[in-house]
Amino acid sequence: MLEIRNLHVKLEEEDKEILKGVDLTVEAGRVHAIMGPNGSGKSTLSYVLAGREGYEVTEGEVLFLGQNLLEMEPEERAAAGLFLAFQYPVEIPGVGNMTFLRTALNAQRKARGEPEISAADFLKLVREKARALKIDADMLKRPVNVGFSGGEKKRNEILQMAVLEPKLCILDETDSGLDVDAMRLVAEGVNALRSPDRGFLVITHYQRLLDHIVPDVVHIMADGRIVKTGGPELALEVEKNGYADILKEVA
Ligand code: ADP
Ligand code: MG
Ligand code: MG
């Protein structure tokens, strides 16, 4: 589903290489977690996959469902089924949550050559998804993320995911900002959306989140590279001993 090969990325503004040869493959139906110390390049990787400006790919390639992801516009990536949930969900004053969701969904459908969803069908779809995720109908009418609590933003992110039905979901979580309830929400949302034809890349600093989302594969990132890959036990090892032992072992 996602194949990252020898990805090198530097900042456009500075001559600073941040990703120094990332290799990573995510298969459909599997949850991959990336852990790693602060500053190792985890968020940079998710930004580059999203197509955010300010980064220059100097080497390597990224294939998403066989297509060259790096040549696609951010909207094309979304239309192809890539979804990124970010550490700090943006607030969009003046745009109702429903309108935002419908616009996003229709953009995706348009890019796939599908007709727009009717207002009635959309309402039915969103209500259904919101109910399943125990999301209050009120939240659907409010402007996107404006004045939302941390937990509500998380819930909303999961709702976006449920409505857009992406093929690959990338979640970059600063666990520091996630309380236990918000973490459980994210985990329940992810677990509810796990399916044989959907892949997940969950980026997290601590093991806690992975108590609730049990990953199939765990990668450790350090200094711009994936330095170790294993099963869920790798996350437990990090929780117990921190990163020092692993970093020493791979040095
Ligand atoms: P992580 O998410 O693993 O904590 P980041 O991807 O946020 O790591 O950062 C990786 C490294 O790149 C850090 O050393 C960080 O300071 C640096 N970095 C990232 N973005 C910028 C930027 N826009 N300007 C300067 N340094 C940056
Ligand atoms: Mg960081
Ligand atoms: Mg980060």
Single out the residue of 189, 195, 209, 217 nearest to residue 81, CA to CA. 195
For atom 16 of ligand 1, the residue with the nearest CA is 39
Residue 88 CA, ligand 2 centroid: distance in Å: 12
Q: Which of 234, 157, 220 is nearest to 188 (CA)?
A: 157
Average pLDDT over residues 99-107: 88
The bound ligand whose nearest atom lies closest to the alpha carbon of 49 is 1
To the question of pTM greater than 0.95 for the whole model, the response is no
The ipTM of this complex is: 0.95
Which whole number is the average pLDDT over 154-178?
A: 84
What pLDDT, on a 0 to 100 scale, did the predictor assign at position 12?
94
Report the residue among 11, 14, 18 best suited for mutation to probe ligand 1: largest number of ligand atoms under 8 A from its CB: 18
What is the Cβ-side half-sphere exposure of residue 76, based on CA atoms within 13 angstroms? 10
How far is residue 2 CA from its own chain's centroid? Answer: 13
> Quick one: which of 28, 99, 114, 92 has its CA closest to 65?
28
If you take atom 23 of ligand 1, which residue's CA is the nearest one?
11
Per the CATH hierarchy, to which homologous superfamily does domain 2-250 belong?
P-loop containing nucleotide triphosphate hydrolases (3.40.50.300)
* Ligand nearest, relative to CA of residue 172: 3
Distance CA 138, CA 96 (A): 11
**How far, in Å, from the CA of 36 to the mean position of ligand 1?**
13
CA distances from 63 to 25, 106, 216 (A): 9, 24, 21
**Helix (H) or strand (E) run with residue 182 in it:** helix 180-193
Ligand 3 centroid distance, CA of 206 (Å): 11
pLDDT mean across residues, the chain: 89
Pocket of ligand 1 (CB under 6 A): 11, 18, 36, 38-44
Q: Which atom of ligand 1 is nearest to the CA of 221?
A: 3
Closest ligand to residue 36's CA: 1
pLDDT tens profile 177-202: 677 877 888 888 889 899 999 999 99
Centroid of ligand 2 to alpha carbon of 32 (angstroms): 19
- Distance, CA 154 to ligand 3 centroid (Å)? 17
Say how far residue 22 (Cα) sits from the centre of its chain: 17
The one-character DSSP state at 70 is G
Give the full edge-to-edge strand order of the sheet including 217-222.
82-85, 168-173, 199-204, 31-35, 217-222, 225-230
pLDDT by residue (tens digit) across 11-61?
Answer: 999 999 999 999 999 999 999 999 999 999 999 999 999 888 999 999 999
